[in-house]
Amino acid sequence: MRHLIAFLALCLSAPLLFATDLSGIWASSVKPPDGHTDRQVLVLRQSGNELTGKWERAWGNLTIHQGMINGNHFELKAKTDDGYTISCEGTLDGDKLRFKVHEPNIMPYELTAVRSTTDPFVVANVIAPPAVKDLAPNGLAKTPPMGWNSWNLFAGKIDDKTVRGMADALVSSGMRDAGYIYLNIDDTWEGDRDAKGVIHSNNKFPDMKALADYVHSKGLKFGIYSSPGPYTCAGYEGSYGHEAQDAKTYAAWGVDYLKYDWCSASRLYPDSAMRAVYQKMGDALRATKRPIVYSLCQYGRDNVWTWGDKVGGNLWRTTGDINDTYKRMMEIADTQSAIAKFAGPGHWNDPDMLEIGNGGMTTDEYRTHMSLWAMFAAPLLAGNDVRKMTDDTKSILLNKEVIAVDQDPLGKQGQLAFKRGDVDYWKRELSGGGAAIAVVNRANAPTSVTIPWADLGIGSNFVFKEVWSGLDVKSQSNSSFTIPPHGVVLLRMEMVH
């Protein structure tokens, strides 16, 4: 009997005695086909069968909002604050967690994680940013930079071959000659660092120097991307602790433009340190003696427009990311007026890259996008496939009149003058006493307007051309227009003496 009781007691307590406890830090590190190192970390707490904690990616953390373990089988669901959700299911296999990850828009993939005593994403002894000072202007970007960037359409699918194709197409399409000079590779070019800390490109870019030479041979300039944090937004190697070294590498490759994206620096520094952190790379770029346009990307935090030029920045993003919808494009447009006065030759507000030609907006909406960006004196970085542009896309991106508004040498950003019902009136002062007026119809139906010249402060001594419909010079008495839904009328005013 005693034996039976002991046996039953053992059976009952076995799940407790031998129950797995996944609490702790689990780290996984793999090299996807492009050859960069991708790290993921699970920081788990187990209570009974329930698992909570966080799932860390190089680009940020997700909170585990649903997790359970049953025997050796476990399942997790995690999401970011803005709702991006990933999940996995797997098993504890000896001392390893083997699991399959599901995330939006990519094929499920397998990971193996092992216990770790430290969290690879927690940086000990964060390097103190330098004391703040004012850098003199670098003399670049007297007008807003124009070019092409890989992110909006290609994201992680950009490679050497595509960049070369884009260089050829920028020339053959006339884009280069219209002013689109910078060919900028965004995130996901980065490989790992070598033993000396030198950054290398990954398998998608076998020889960055050769690629830069090719781009230069086409009469274009070459741009690249990094982050002041340990990792970029896509989870690739950033420049943290290697700023001067990376600036030298870029200069040796022949880089003419750097977009520097805050991303994982937010794990290390508060927003109040942004200015000093950006200054560090501004200084490092100067030290190379190569003229490199410096593009700050920190989504308009910490009123970057009040200090962006003082860290050597030639442009700074003013908002979070654009996407290829009229709604998002207009949300961004609506925030630009208030900060107009901070832009000027050499230092520009950047409402993000163009989506024109990517298919998510109507031709009229894309004309509005281009017109407003020109009114904002915004950098014009096309984000479409320049190798296959429709005639509509070409007619927008290559329109010389709208480009002239954007590139006006006075460099004064336009502002919203007023709204009348669904119609927004924007005004921008141009050099030589000229002006540009953009009239945007926000309604879902066509609308008719007669331009209210006096309210716009335009005297009778002006004539104008409508940029999109043709170049006939018109007098003010001839100023009634029907504007399509979400469309625009863009007027270039010229004074007559």
- Name the one range near ligand GLA by CB under 6 A: 226-234, 277-285, 406-414, 430-438: 226-234
Closest CA to 451 of 480, 428, 471: 480
Nearer to ligand GLA, 26 or 121 (CB): 121
* Residue 103, token pair as written in the block: 């995330």
180 binds ligand GLA (CB under 6 A): no
233 binds ligand GLA (CB under 6 A): yes
Active site residue 321: yes
Nearer to ligand GLA, 224 or 456 (CB): 224
Nearer to ligand GLA, 46 or 184 (CB): 184
103 binds ligand GLA (CB under 6 A): no
232 binds ligand GLA (CB under 6 A): yes
Nearer to ligand GLA, 243 or 261 (CB): 261
Nearer to ligand GLA, 39 or 394 (CB): 39
* Residue 488, token pair as written in the block: 């625009």
Shortest distance in whole angstroms from residue 293 CB to ligand GLA: 15
Per-residue contact string for residues 117-136; x = within reach of ligand GLA by CB under 6 A: --------------------
261 binds ligand GLA (CB under 6 A): yes
Active site residue 261: yes
Shortest distance in whole angstroms from residue 186 CB to ligand GLA: 5
321 binds ligand GLA (CB under 6 A): yes
Q: How far is 214 from 171, CA to CA, in rounded Å?
A: 13
Shortest distance in whole angstroms from residue 467 CB to ligand GLA: 28
304 binds ligand GLA (CB under 6 A): no
Task: Judge contact between 7 and 14, C-beta under 8 A.
Answer: no
- Name the one range near ligand GLA by CB under 6 A: 77-85, 86-94, 161-169, 230-238: 230-238
224 binds ligand GLA (CB under 6 A): no
* Catalytic residue selected from 34, 38, 261, 309: 261
34 binds ligand GLA (CB under 6 A): no
The region that residue 66 occupies, defined by phi over 0 for left and psi between -120 and 50 for alpha, beta otherwise, is beta
Q: How far is 462 from 477, CA to CA, in rounded Å?
A: 11
Q: Over the range 222-259, which residues count as b (16 or more CB within 10 Å of their CB) and which as e? A: bbbbbbbbbbbbbbbbbbbebbbbbbbbbbebbbbbbb
| 3-class secondary structure per residue, 396-444 | HHCCHHHHHHHCCCCCCCCEEEEEECCEEEEEEECHHHCEEEEEEECCC
151 binds ligand GLA (CB under 6 A): yes
- Name the one range near ligand GLA by CB under 6 A: 89-97, 216-224, 229-237, 417-425: 229-237
Interface residue with ligand GLA, options 234, 332, 389, 437 (CB under 6 A): 234
- What's the start-to-end Cα distance of the chain, in Å? 116
Q: How far is 381 from 308, CA to CA, in rounded Å?
A: 19
Q: How far is CA 181 from the centre of its chain?
A: 19
Q: How far is 310 from 134, CA to CA, in rounded Å?
A: 5
297 binds ligand GLA (CB under 6 A): yes
Nearer to ligand GLA, 61 or 479 (CB): 61
DSSP 285-316: HHHTTS--EEEEESTTGGGGGGTGGGGT-SEE
Q: How far is 49 from 268, CA to CA, in rounded Å?
A: 33
Q: How far is 448 from 483, CA to CA, in rounded Å?
A: 6
Shortest distance in whole angstroms from residue 165 CB to ligand GLA: 21
Nearer to ligand GLA, 119 or 321 (CB): 321
Nearer to ligand GLA, 51 or 381 (CB): 381
Q: Is the dihedral of CA 242, 244, 249, 251 positive or negative?
A: positive
Q: How many CA atoms within 13 Å lie on the side-chain side of 391?
A: 0
381 binds ligand GLA (CB under 6 A): no
187 binds ligand GLA (CB under 6 A): yes
Shortest distance in whole angstroms from residue 228 CB to ligand GLA: 13
Q: List all residues 6 or more positions away from 71 whose beta carbon is below 8 Å from its beta carbon.
A: 20
355 binds ligand GLA (CB under 6 A): no
Tell me the catalytic residues.
261, 321
Sites of contact with ligand GLA (CB under 6 A): 151, 186-187, 232-234, 261, 297, 321
